[in-house]
Amino acid sequence: MTRPAPCTCTRAVFVAQPPQLSRAWDIPMTKPESQAARALTGAQSLVASLEALGVEVVFGIPGGAILPAYDPLYDSSVRHILVRHEQGAGHAATGYAQATGRVGVCMATSGPGATNLVTPIADAYMDSVPIVAITGQVSRAAIGTDAFQEADIHGITMPITKHNYLVQDGKDIPRVLAEAFYVAGSGRPGPVLVDIPKDVLQAQTVFEWPPTMDLPGYRPTTQPHSKQIREAAKLIATARRPVLYVGGGVLKAGATEELKALAELTGAPVVTTLMARGAFPDSHPQHMGMPGMHGTVGAVFALQKADLLITLGARFDDRVTGKLDSFAPDAAVIHADIDPAEIGKNRHADVPIVGDAKIIIAALIEAVGENHPSLKAWWEQLDDIRDRYPLGYAEHEDGTLSPQYVISRIGALVGPDAIYATGVGQHQMWASQFISYENPGTFLNSGGLGTMGYAVPAAMGAKVGAPDRSVWAIDGDGCFQMTNQELATCSLENIPIKVAVINNGNLGMVRQWQTLFYDGRYSNTGLGTHATEDRPRIPDFVKLGEALGCVGLRCESADEVDAVIKQAMEINDRPVVIDFVVGKDAMVWPMVPAGTSNDEILFARGVRPSFDEDDL
């Protein structure tokens, strides 16, 4: 990822005008009532800056070093939501950002408070989500002395932030906050950390707004080069087997309408990665589904047999490409991305295009016009493949509840307007496969880092940002036990999310790999969340949910599924936890085993589609 050089706040480079803000992540630079400079403490300046930036909510936990900031926050218009763990604060900020299109904010104290933010910061970095993390630091004189609760969070997070700051002077706080929000939201979005020593927060300073930003060298390229657009249009005009390979950058750029227009203009098939679910309607006849390790056979086939990949905001992730040197061997590549560092990183680009996806796609539409060939023969092959290998699952022979059935019924009954947040593992893949995503911003998950424990706090943040929408967390019993304490936050803060725990009693995806690749040696994957003859459920998720202020429900058979989902949908005054007790041996299919070619995709266990030359 491209990011500006790290800096402290001692430079004095003057920039006359703030850079133009990104469309999708506009930052309100509202002016306080009084334009005169005001004498404030650093802490008051921090809160005044957040107010001036239009921040409506901060997720955080106070502690010694950040405590001065919590005093002015007490009287502020900024809502503070007291989470139970800093990881929850970070993921909540991420969920809020993805649900609203605004920058999410989290706050923690120094040392362990700050380091507990490392995972959600890394998560936001991998998935290009704009958040600003504000941390207290020990006083400047104590930095480097191994003082109580000291950690070099500035250094620790340097590789996993788009930019970070260690504030040395209170007068810089307004500028640093303005820059942090701008950097987080513009170009390729990402996390920015602002670390402020306690004595800087306590000292007197001057607050003046709006500040002048100081970002030499940070100039995200949004406008594509016209020559590259023309070259791309030429390739599209001659391709017989093109595929629109769509990544999360299309969602970040707000380019879904343009994508649909380009797809319908060219008639090309569309595949949407895990991070792009919802960028193109699942119900659209040109949608081939999700590619990659657990993608549809049709999407994988389309990529493997394409003669042109029109790659938009995607990064050739290994979960999509499989064994890289065998990925789409006959395809020329148009690679469009706002981050020039991504282009050519994993796959050579015949036509590289740097810019904002919304602008690029609009330019491609104009350049392509009606000049593209018939794709009738290509679609005959694709339709044949997806007819022969549709997504599906088999009911369990032991009569246990199928997790795929549960998730498909949630999608059918709750509908495409809801927001779904998942943890990581089998339930994440089933949620991507068996819920129909028709709208952008409706599927939140940890795609790059694969962070277990993401679902509940991300759903909490999404519900805060979109209080009028239904928000469901679809979690596994392993993931749920990592961050379920944030349900106490939801109960006390009136954030009525629904949580569907897909409880198979195991770390399901790891168990699947143990079944397939370790001869069924289930080393340390049983979680004990199913009752046995000599042991109750540990924990009992219904009782746990009730202890956290939620309504707890349980479902163990297919004939109960619809009723319990409808019951949950009728409860809107508190969170709901549903313990869906499912079979332990359901597997996610299709599957491309790690490190193998996409040509080796398995439709089901022992069933391999034929991708031979007759298919071409």
DSSP string, 322-333: BSGGGSSTT-EE
**Residue 366 CB-half CA count within 13 A:** 8
Q: Active-site residue among 59, 86, 107, 150? A: 86
Query: How many other CB atoms sit within 10 Å of the CB of residue 308?
Result: 25
Q: Of the candidates 185, 163, 220, 194, which has an alpha carbon nearest to the alpha carbon of residue 97?
A: 185
Nearest 5°: CA angle at 337, between 454 and 222? 110
Per the annotation, the verdict on 509 as an active-site residue is yes
DSSP 324-392: GGGSSTT-EEEEEES-GGGTTTSS--SEEEES-HHHHHHHHHHHHTT-----HHHHHHHHHHHHHS---
- Whether 56 is a known active-site residue: answer no
Based on the residue annotation, tell me whether 86 is a catalytic residue of this protein: yes
| Beta-carbon contacts of residue 119 (< 8 Å; ≥ 6 apart) | 87, 90, 449, 451
- How far apart, in whole angstroms, are the C-alpha atoms of residue 89 and residue 132? 11
Active-site residue identified among 150, 171, 179, 198: 198
Strands 498-503 and 443-444: unpaired
Location of structure tokens 């029109």: 310
3-state secondary structure (DSSP) of residue 20: coil
- CB within 8 Å of 50: residues ≥ 6 apart: 58, 76, 78, 105, 177
Q: Provide the CB-side half-sphere exposure for 143 (13 A, CA).
A: 20
* CA-based nearest residue to 86, from 486, 577, 547, 460: 486
Both tokens of 80, joined, read 């503070």
Cα distances (Å, whole numbers) of residue 7 to 27, 53, 111, 153, 398: 22, 22, 21, 14, 60
Q: Which residue of the set 148, 264, 380, 546 is catalytic?
A: 148
Nearest CA to 47 out of 11, 67, 73 is that of: 73
Nearest-CA neighbor of 568 among 485, 468, 501, 484? 501
Catalytic residue, chosen from 509, 580, 584, 591, is: 509
* Cα R_g (the chain), whole angstroms: 25
Q: For residue 311, what are the β-bridge partners?
A: 245, 335
Residues in the chain, how many? 616
Strand bridging mode 308-312 / 287-289: unpaired
**Sign of the dihedral through C-alpha 564, 569, 574, 579:** positive
Angular region, 400: left φ>0, alpha ψ -120 to 50, beta rest: beta
Catalytic residue among 1, 56, 149, 567: 149
Phi first, then psi: what are they for 436, rounded to 5°? -90, 120
Rounded to the nearest 10 degrees, the angle between the axes of helix 357-368 and helix 226-238 is 50
Distance from chain centroid for Cα 399:
35
Residues designated catalytic: 86, 148-149, 198, 509
